[in-house]
């Protein structure tokens, strides 16, 4: 369990909710801070809110890894099946320092692909927590190819 010192008498407890983590203390949510925190696997998890703030100043390679195709988020650069990501490195930036953001329908496939890329030496990999489902639930649209 992660513990964050907030003040001498306040400690945040960590509650695991499936693949996402939510930290709370005295009604204050630390979800954004935790989601942006780098995972021990070497990649980051971002929220729909964070992605919506990143897209207007897009400085990353954006990849839909979901199979089968079920729509996409505007600005997507490539479609690479999550289970074939290691065989499609030629479709990714050659620079392993490049920022790469992955997403899928629910977040699970992108998490698997993010872990794989991190193991292959990519240093700035993120994946969208909750995937396209969370993206739509937060009021954003999907587009069809």
pLDDT tens for residues 35-92? 444 445 689 999 999 999 999 999 999 999 999 999 999 999 999 999 999 999 999 9
Q: What's the rounded mean pLDDT across residues 101-123?
A: 97
Position with higher pLDDT, 111 vs 39: 111
Cα separation, 79 vs 93, whole angstroms:
14
Cα separation, 55 vs 21, whole angstroms:
23
Is cis: bond before 30, omega within 30 of 0? Answer: no
Q: What is the pLDDT of residue 110?
A: 98
Q: What is the pLDDT of residue 144?
A: 85
Other beta carbons within 10 angstroms of residue 132's beta carbon come to 23
Q: What is the pLDDT of residue 145?
A: 77
Q: What's the rounded mean pLDDT across residues 115-130?
A: 97
Computed over every residue of the chain, the mean pLDDT equals 80
């Amino acid at each position: 369990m992660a513990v964050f010192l907030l003040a001498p008498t306040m400690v945040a407890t960590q509650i695991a909710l499936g693949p996402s983590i939510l930290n709370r203390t005295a009604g204050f949510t630390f979800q954004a801070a935790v989601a942006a925190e780098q995972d021990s696997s070497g990649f980051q998890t971002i929220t729909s809110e964070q992605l919506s703030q990143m897209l207007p100043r897009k400085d990353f390679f954006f990849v839909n890894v979901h199979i089968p195709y079920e729509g996409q988020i505007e600005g997507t650069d490539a479609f690479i099946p999550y289970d074939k990501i290691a065989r499609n490195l030629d479709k990714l930036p050659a620079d392993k320092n490049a920022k790469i953001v992955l997403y899928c329908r629910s977040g699970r496939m992108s998490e698997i692909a993010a872990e794989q890329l991190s193991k292959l030496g990519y240093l700035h990999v993120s994946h969208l927590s909750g995937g396209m489902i969370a993206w739509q639930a937060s009021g954003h649209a999907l587009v069809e190819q």
